[in-house]
Amino acid sequence: MNRIDIPSADRRAFMSGSAALAVAGLLSSTGLHAGQAGAGDAAGAYEPRRGQAGKDVMWIATPDALVTRMLRLAQLTPSDQLVDLGSGDGKIVLAAAGEGARGLGLEYNADLVELSRRRAREAGLIDRARFEKADIFESDFSQATVVTLYLLPHLNLRLRPRLLALKPGTRIVSHEFRMGRWLPDETSRVGPASLHLWLVPANVGGSWELQFPQRDELVTTRLDVARQHFQDFTATVAFRDFETTVREPKVAGEQLRFGLTDAHGHLRRFVGQVVGDRISGSVYDLTDGGARAPFSARRTGTAPPIEGSGPAPQSEAESLGSD
């Protein structure tokens, strides 16, 4: 990376991240350029060197096996738009394009951008793989359905509000480093390396009018989501004679899940799709062999912000070094 003054909290995060790389065996490989970003190869076409300096992080290529697993974690399809933040030599974007998806690599190093474009041309993927010289913190990647990144923890934390603002269901996959208190939905281990997946959660906060069949009648009741912390939430459902908390609440992208015991003592499991201020899906009567029926919900007020969707507090940033 360029020699810049890093605030103390960020410096601790950087050192922690570098230590993690060393533990993973990622800093001890063949000699790639350790000098200034943008230096070309005197023998011919530019080729990057492992550990070379960049604007925010040093360049270290993600091994092919990890690239493949990242795309599998994201459940990449040809209809996806993948954006790689800090795309380096372009291999993740090129791999996605090779599977039929559209890919965009955002990279600050102009030489790496040109190298990626050259590789896209050579692979015949220029129509599906684009690369732009850009600062990831100033770029618009709101159209992404999949975001990949290999950045240090304090950089992930800076990006977190923008990632949470993406369309619910967008998949985010990070090589090695996490998002502070936003816990991954799934983590894979490939050898010594970790890969983390997050699904951008829908906002389910506020009060809802909930309708579902109970025996021979349609019950209309109130679902109050008092707090949503990333993909987790706490809620109560008010019946005529009592109020009950919900079990195992979770938001997985656009999907909402929770359970409760109804007025007749039946355990019910709700699974629905959130679209704006509406939820529709199925409720399963687990006491009656899993009998399935439709349910719906309508938000009756405004949706409060998801807790954690704003800038991270200083205390969270300072804790990254020991996370």
What are the chain's domains?
A: 8-200 (3.40.50.150), 206-299 (2.40.128.120)
Res. 41: pLDDT tops 70: no
Beta partners for residue 282, in sequence order: 271, 294
What pLDDT score does 18 carry? 39
Res. 9: pLDDT tops 60: no
List % helix, strand, coil for the chain (3-state, nearest 5).
20, 35, 45
Amino acid identity at 306: I
Res. 25: pLDDT tops 50: no
Task: Give the least confident one: 48-62, 94-108, 140-154, 213-227.
Answer: 48-62
Q: Indicate the average pLDDT of the chain.
A: 86
Ordered strands of the 232-238 beta sheet: 243-245, 232-238, 217-229, 206-214, 291-299, 278-285, 267-275, 255-261, 247-252
What pLDDT score does 215 carry? 84
> By CB neighbour count within 10 A (0-12 exposed, 13-18 middle, 19+ buried), where does 25 fall?
exposed
Spatial contact of 120 and 131, defined as CB atoms under 8 Å apart? yes
At residue 25's C-alpha, the angle toward residues 19 and 28, to 5°, is: 95
Res. 6: pLDDT tops 50: no
Q: Which of 166, 152, 171, 168 is nearest to 82 (CA)?
A: 171
**Phi, psi values for residue 177, rounded to 5°:** -105, 150
What pLDDT score does 1 carry? 33
Which helix (H) or strand (E) element contains residue 82?
Answer: strand 81-85
> What's the per-residue H, E or C state across 111-169?
HHHHHHHHHHHHCCCCCCEEEEECCCCCCCCCCCCEEEECCCHHHHHHHHHHHHCCCCC
Beta partners for residue 235, in sequence order: 225
Res. 304: pLDDT tops 50: yes
pLDDT tens, position by position, 216-231: 899 999 999 999 999 9
d(CA 164, CA 244): 30
Mean pLDDT for the stretch of residues 166-181: 96
Task: Give the least confident one: 9-18, 48-57, 99-108.
Answer: 9-18
d(CA 116, CA 133): 11
Res. 54: pLDDT tops 80: no
Secondary structure letter of residue 202 according to DSSP: P
The three-class DSSP label of residue 287 is: helix
What pLDDT score does 320 carry? 73
Res. 62: pLDDT tops 60: yes
Secondary structure letter of residue 242 according to DSSP: -
E-only strand ranges, 192-307: 193-199, 206-214, 217-229, 232-238, 243-245, 247-252, 255-261, 267-275, 278-285, 291-299
d(CA 126, CA 175): 25
